[in-house]
Amino acid sequence: MILAAIAALAMSGAAYADTIKIGVVGPFSGPFALQGKNFKAGIDAYMSLNGSKVGDDDIEIIYRDVPQADPAQAKALAQELVVKEGVQYLAGFYFTPDAMAVTPLLTQANVPLVIMNAATSAIVTKSPLVVRTSFTTWQTSTPIAKVAKDAGVSKVISVVSDYGPGVDAENAFKAGFEAAGGQVVEAIRMPLATNDF
């Protein structure tokens, strides 16, 4: 999907280069490495089917690893990709805080970003250079409210991680549940590092 989006931009004349460089930031090691491997597998599959060229231009993918949510590291790596590596496009981003940290750089450098996973709804409002090829938290959380209401649940206590996606999920569920006549009697937000339930 990312390469298709970039190919469309390149063929419209938005990119002028012999080599189109794409920087991909994601979790390629650590506890979330499977998601980074999925990013890479999707890119590899597209290139296997469509080749590594757009028109006469070669495509070069440069990967950078952010093993877990780390906005400062994600921003530093994105800046390195843009300044030192000369990428014309950024992609990836599994974690919302990482994607949010990079958005100010996009406008300054005039580099588009294709979000491959980070799901908080607000990300795409932070820069006109951001597009998303995946889902939003609302798309997964709102239907859960309907399932709960259809199962006869009328009151709930919501429990989420206290960061962008958790709050987004809480808001989406609450909106859907209350629209269906349910009531959220308490909303608990836990620190992101909580592991004792």
Q: Indicate which CATH number applies to the domain containing 46.
A: 3.40.50.2300
Which one of 112, 132, 152 terminates a domain? 132
Question: Does residue 36 fall inside a structural domain?
Answer: yes
In a domain, 181, yes or no: yes
pLDDT reported for residue 195:
73
Same domain, 141 and 157: yes
**Predicted local distance difference test score (pLDDT) of residue 15:** 47
| 121 and 150 belong to one structural domain | no
Specify whether 71 is located in the same domain as 161: no
148 and 114 in one domain?
no
CA distances from 107 to 95, 103, 173 (A): 20, 7, 32
Q: According to the model, what pLDDT value does residue 155 have?
A: 98
22 and 6 within one domain: yes
Number of domains in the chain: 2
The confidence band for 12, taking pLDDT boundaries of 50, 70 and 90, is very low
Amino acid at 117: N
Give the domain extent around 92.
2-132
Per-chain mean pLDDT for the chain:
91
**Which percentage of the chain shows pLDDT scores above 70?**
91
Confidence category of residue 8, pLDDT binned at 50, 70, 90:
low
Residues 91, 159 within the same domain: no
Q: Is residue 35, in this structure, part of any structural domain at all? A: yes
Cα–Cα distance for residue pair 63/40, rounded to 1 Å: 9
Distance CA(41)–CA(192), nearest Å, equals 29
- The amino acid that residue 87 corresponds to is V
Q: Residue with structure tokens 């495509």?
A: 59
Are both 96 and 7 inside the same structural domain? yes
Q: How far apart are CA 169 and CA 161, in angstroms?
A: 9
pLDDT (mean) for 129-154 = 94
Question: Could you tell me if residue 197 is inside a domain?
Answer: no
In a shared domain, residues 141 and 127: no
On whether both 108 and 172 belong to a single domain, the answer is no
Does 97 have pLDDT greater than 70? yes
Q: Is residue 29 part of a domain?
A: yes
Give the pLDDT band of residue 193 (cuts 50, 70, 90): confident
Please tell me the distance from the alpha carbon of residue 15 to that of residue 104, in angstroms, as a whole number: 21
In a domain, 196, yes or no: no
Q: Are residues 90 and 27 in the same domain?
A: yes
Residue 170 above 50 pLDDT? yes
- Domain check: are 64 and 126 in the same one? yes
Does residue 32 have a pLDDT over 90? Answer: yes
Q: Does 182 reside within a domain?
A: yes
Confidence label for 35 from pLDDT (cuts 50, 70 and 90): very high
